[in-house]
């Protein structure tokens, strides 16, 4: 197919290991721009390669393929992929953070995935169980250093990085998948600690950011992902971020206060999100895709195009590559991961 539609503003998911006939139609809607894959979509690398090829062929235009492949608790593809440790493991092995970033990215790119939603830039405050060891460190400077190295590895493999969850999810106990967390800290405290990794990686060229479904009550009454202050004022103007802004999943309970799914999508888009995630609810995804007004935004399209992966290997070539073999073995042995 020749390219026709630009990358649309909605990221959705698919049901299983292979593409269903009815899913092809929604993938070819002008508003669709990306598919996020989950563990239920994965059995083995060959099956995944076929699924991704089918997703791409269903669309008359470009489409992005994403996954959460941080390592530790959050690694959707495991069998056949190198098991990665949680981000906090690199505190004792900082020299391996960059190599792990390369390894994660190289494996995903080789099967046709454009990017993983990584690295986590939240600073762990010993409060948030949903973040916990997904954070690189409790110290902002160390978290920044390790996340920067991990991103450097991703970039060298050909993958754009997404820092999450802006401006920081590490200081609230509530899981935003299940409820709406409220962070009562002053803006000065958030800037002095949580925003440090975001500020530095933005200066280094970070390609994308995902805001948190968290209300920072002393700053704004809206969750960050629905907040023009956090996205347009703080992120775009004060931090000079010019990359892509992904909403966090609009199906999460932390987003429910924004209204219906269509209302959530409209509010996130109005606040400044380039791409809107609607996951694990096909009915809601179809509603948003079909009812959100179709808009052409050249700047948004350019930002989303920058998220396209640039793989140096197909899967068989990667497995035969000595650098991959050595790095995969090193990570598995160092962290005792099978």
CA 305 to chain centre: 15
Task: Evaluate the CA torsion angle 208, 100, 47, 248 in order and state its sign.
Answer: negative
Query: Among residues of the chain, what percentage have pLDDT more than 70?
Result: 96
The two three-digit tokens of residue 18, written as one number: 């292979």
Instruction: Please tell me the predicted confidence (pLDDT) of residue 6.
Output: 96
Q: Is residue 206 part of a domain?
A: yes
248 assigned to active site: yes
Instruction: Please tell me the predicted confidence (pLDDT) of residue 250.
Output: 86
What is the arithmetic mean of pLDDT over 293-321?
97
Instruction: Please tell me the predicted confidence (pLDDT) of residue 253.
Output: 61
- Catalytic: which of 62, 114, 122, 248? 248
pLDDT higher at 127 or 326: 326
Task: Evaluate the CA torsion angle 58, 37, 307, 168 in order and state its sign.
Answer: positive
Instruction: With residue 99 as reference, give the H or E element that holds it.
Output: helix 97-111
- Average pLDDT over the chain reads 94
Q: What number of residues does the chain have?
A: 338
Q: How many Å is the Cα radius of gyration of the chain?
A: 19
Between CA 156 and CA 163, with CA 158 as vertex, the angle to 5 degrees is 85
Q: Confidence class of residue 1 from pLDDT cuts 50, 70 and 90?
A: very low
Q: Is residue 79 part of a domain?
A: no
> Across 262-304, where does the E strand assignment appear?
276-277
pLDDT single digits (tens) 75-98: 999 999 999 999 999 999 999 999
Q: Is residue 188 part of a domain?
A: yes
Residue 39 CB contacts under 8 Å (≥ 6 apart), including other chains: 76, 77, 78
- Catalytic: which of 54, 139, 177, 220? 177
Q: Is residue 237 part of a domain?
A: yes
Q: Is residue 138 part of a domain?
A: no
- pLDDT at 248 exceeding the cut of 90: no
What is the arithmetic mean of pLDDT over 212-233?
95
The whole-model pTM stands at 0.96
Q: Is residue 177 part of a domain?
A: yes
Expressed as residue numbers, the domain containing 237 is 161-274
Q: What domain count does the chain have?
A: 1
Q: Is residue 193 part of a domain?
A: yes
Q: Is residue 224 part of a domain?
A: yes
- 227/221 Cα distance (integer angstroms): 8
Q: At what angle do helices 97-111 and 140-157 cross, to 10 degrees?
A: 40
63 neighbors 7 (Cβ within 8 angstroms)? yes
Give the single-character DSSP code of 333: H
């Amino acid at each position: 197919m020749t390219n026709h539609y630009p990358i649309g503003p909605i990221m959705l998911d698919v049901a299983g290991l292979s593409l269903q006939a009815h899913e092809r139609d929604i993938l070819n809607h002008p508003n669709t721009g990306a598919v996020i894959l989950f563990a239920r979509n994965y059995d083995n690398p060959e099956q995944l390669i076929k699924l991704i090829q089918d997703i791409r062929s269903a669309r008359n235009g470009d489409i992005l393929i994403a996954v959460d492949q941080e390592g530790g608790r959050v690694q959707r593809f495991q069998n056949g992929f190198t098991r990665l440790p949680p981000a906090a493991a690199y505190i004792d092995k900082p020299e391996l953070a960059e190599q792990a970033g390369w390894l994660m990215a190289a494996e995903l790119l080789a099967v046709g995935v454009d990017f993983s939603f990584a690295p986590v830039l939240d600073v762990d405050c010993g409060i948030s169980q949903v973040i916990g060891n997904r954070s690189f460190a409790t110290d902002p400077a160390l978290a920044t250093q390790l996340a920067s190295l991990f991103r450097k590895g991703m970039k060298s493999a050909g993958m754009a990085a997404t820092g999450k969850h802006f401006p920081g999810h590490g200081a609230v106990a509530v899981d935003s998948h299940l409820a709406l967390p409220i962070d009562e800290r002053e803006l000065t405290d958030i800037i002095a600690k949580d925003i440090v990794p975001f500020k530095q990686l933005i200066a280094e060229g970070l390609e994308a950011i995902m805001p948190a479904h968290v209300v920072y009550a002393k700053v704004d009454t809206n969750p960050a992902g629905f907040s023009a202050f956090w996205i347009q004022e703080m992120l775009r103007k004060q931090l000079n971020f010019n990359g892509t802004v992904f909403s966090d999943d609009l199906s999460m309970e932390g987003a429910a206060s924004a209204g219906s799914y269509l209302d959530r999508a409209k509010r996130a888009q109005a606040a400044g999100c380039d791409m809107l995630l609607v996951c694990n609810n096909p009915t809601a995804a179809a509603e948003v895709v079909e009812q959100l007004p179709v808009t052409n935004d050249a700047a948004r399209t350019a930002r989303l195009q920058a998220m396209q992966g640039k793989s140096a290997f197909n899967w068989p070539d990667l497995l035969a590559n000595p650098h991959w073999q050595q790095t995969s073995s090193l990570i598995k042995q160092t962290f005792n991961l099978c």
